[in-house]
């Protein structure tokens, strides 16, 4: 049995703070943003040719310094992109560095429907997992309030939970679905 220790948690918190601001799935700027819907944004790789195949949904949870209010990193980021010629979507979740890779990243909607996603890679931006999400899972996200993301810090006994708000998700999905 692995026992949780205070030094492990302090190291994990430091990894989140210092390692997470380096990058995400896409280096989109505010100029590339097509729509802001609640806590979600729609970005298009080619703003002139907006289509289901070139646009994606984005949710990024920033970590702010409690004293200054300045953004010091990213705790989690979630990207959802349509798969060409398919009703499924690819969901990409990036969590912090320093997680137990054998456990993957666990996602659920409103504490239900938990699924384990295999971590595909870790970069200086964090550890990423991607999976196909069928229409049923996307419908659960539309109806839900929060996407729960669990990661187990390496050497810890208890997972850390992050919540990605689903406020605005439905409108953002509908915006992309209405594109050609």
55, part of any domain: yes
Q: How far is CA 45 from CA 16, 48, 116, in A?
A: 28, 9, 29
User: Does residue 1 sit within a domain?
Assistant: no
Residue 62 within a domain: yes
pTM: 0.73
Mean pLDDT of the chain: 77
146 to 21, 121, 134, 164: CA distances (angstroms): 23, 25, 18, 5
pLDDT score recorded for residue 141:
93
Give me the domain span that covers residue 172: 6-177
Residue 113 DSSP one-character state: E
Provide the number of structural domains found in the chain: 1
| pLDDT tens, residue by residue, 83-93 | 666 677 889 99
Alpha-carbon gap, residue 4 to 154, rounded angstroms: 10
Q: Report the candidate in 88, 79, 101, 102 with the shortest Cα–Cα distance to residue 26.
A: 79
Predicted local distance difference test score (pLDDT) of residue 18? 35
Q: Which residues of the chain have pLDDT under 70?
A: 1-33, 46-53, 73, 83-86, 180
CATH number of the domain that residue 14 is part of: 2.60.40.1880
Q: pLDDT (tens digit, 9 = 90+) per residue, 122-161? A: 998 899 999 888 888 899 999 999 999 999 999 999 999 9
Sign of CA dihedral 144, 180, 81, 73: negative
Whole-number Å distance between alpha carbons of 136 and 149: 18
The pair of three-digit structure tokens given for residue 41, joined into one six-digit string: 């944004």
Residues belonging to the chain: 180
Residue 149 lies in a domain: yes
Instruction: Judge whether 18 lies within some domain.
Output: yes
């Amino acid at each position: 049995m692995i026992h949780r220790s205070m030094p492990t948690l302090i190291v994990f918190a430091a990894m989140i703070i210092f390692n997470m601001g380096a990058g995400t799935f896409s280096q989109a700027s505010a100029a590339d943003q097509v729509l802001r819907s609640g806590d979600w944004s729609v970005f298009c790789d080619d703003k002139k040719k907006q289509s289901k195949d070139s646009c994606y949904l984005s949710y990024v949870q920033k970590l702010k310094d409690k004293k200054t209010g300045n953004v010091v990193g990213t705790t989690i980021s979630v990207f959802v992109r349509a798969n060409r010629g398919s009703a499924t979507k690819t969901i990409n979740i990036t969590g912090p560095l320093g997680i137990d890779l054998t456990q993957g990243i666990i996602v659920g909607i409103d504490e239900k429907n938990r699924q384990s996603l295999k971590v595909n890679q870790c970069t200086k931006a964090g550890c990423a997992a991607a999976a196909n999400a069928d229409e049923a899972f996307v419908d659960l996200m539309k109806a839900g309030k929060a996407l729960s993301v669990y990661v187990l810090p390496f050497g810890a006994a208890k997972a850390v939970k992050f919540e990605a708000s689903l406020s605005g998700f439905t409108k953002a999905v509908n915006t992309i679905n209405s594109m050609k």
